[in-house]
Amino acid sequence: MAGVVEYLYDGYKYLFEDLVHPLSKDYFLVSHPLKIISILVAYNFFCLRLGPWFMKDRKPYDLKNVIKIYNIFQILVSLYIFYVGSVYIFNKDFDFRCSPVDDPTSERAAMIVPNVYIFFVVKLIDLLDTVFFVLRKSFRQITPLHVHHHTMMPLASWFGLTYFPGGQSVLIGHVNALVHAIMYSYYLIAGLGEEYKKYLWWKKYLTMMQLVQFCIFIIQATLSLFYDCGFPIFLKMMTIIYAATFINLFGRFYYNSYVKPNKSNSVQNGNSKVKTAKVH
């Protein structure tokens, strides 16, 4: 029995201490997974159970000003992540086809690892999106897609930061940061009042951007399978599966939100025309 316990302990130590990237291991919430898992379990419990129960007999909170500040913060930090990612990617040492994680002692690693950590922290801050929905009693917006996306992104970011904070995985955070900067710009404009809604005609393109970014991830990860640069093959496969899952989820959301209603309207308009023709 003692041998089994020792074996399990050694395995745990190997996975969550020895394999951890040396530049990441001292960051808060990195390494041991219990912390991040606890946060995500608490997030799901609050948003799906505790929060709705707490708000049941209460009026929605007025969070307009708080959300404006939050959106501005998200825009600025996303642009910063995108900028640092651009410096890293548009460099002769980065190869879109396949790029390994940098040597921990290199200047590139010292530059990009803190940026990967910021990206991870932002994914945790993103959880406030759902918290705001709960406090405003906007329960309709707390969809399975929304909760799944906000749960998986911090987990995936934690994994990347803990073990592979660099190389071709930086492209994921780079593209995602740009998408988020645009997305939160939309939210900021939407929160300014009714008179600004005329500038929000591009709402459906937000989902299209999400789909495009996941397509980019699949293309890059698939291309890298044909090159051996030292970046783990299982991570490339995980990226493909992960992105394909979200293409399916966001694709169905786009179809149900924008394509299907248009088809229904077309059918209704067609029926109206037929009826009108019969009358005349």
How far CA 91 is from CA of 6, 40, 106, in Å, comes to 46, 35, 14
CA proximity to 154, closest of 123, 188, 125? 123
Is 16 part of a structural domain of the chain?
no
Model confidence over 200-249: pLDDT tens digits?
Answer: 888 888 889 999 999 999 999 999 999 988 888 999 999 999 999 999 98
21 is catalytic: no
From 32, 146, 148, 149, active-site residue: 149
Q: How confident is the model at residue 18 (pLDDT cuts 50, 70, 90)?
A: confident
| 134 phi/psi in degrees, rounded to 5 | -65, -50
Alpha helices in 164-232 (DSSP H): 170-190, 203-224
Check residue 269 and give its pLDDT. Answer: 56
Does residue 104 sit within a domain? Answer: yes
**What CA–CA distance (Å, rounded) separates 253 from 88?**
33
Tell me, yes or no, whether 26 lies in a domain: no
Q: Domain for residue 20, yes or no?
A: no
Residue 233 within a domain: yes
248 lies in which domain range? 33-271
Under 8 Å between Cβ of 133 and 60: no
In a domain, 5, yes or no: no
**φ and ψ at residue 105, rounded to 5 degrees:** -90, 0
The predicted-structure confidence for 128-158, as pLDDT tens digits, reads as follows: 999 999 999 999 999 998 999 999 999 999 9
Contacts of 157 (CB under 8 A, 6+ apart): 116, 119, 120, 123, 173
Q: Looking at the domain assignment, is residue 211 inside a domain?
A: yes
Residue 23 within any structural domain of the chain: no
The answer to whether 177 and 171 are in contact (CB under 8 A) is: no
Confidence of residue 278 (pLDDT cuts 50, 70, 90): very low
Place of tokens 């000003």: 65
Supply the Cα-derived Rg of the chain in whole angstroms.
22
d(C-alpha 247, C-alpha 174), whole Å:
18
Rounded CA separation 84/122 (Å): 15
Total domain count, the chain: 1
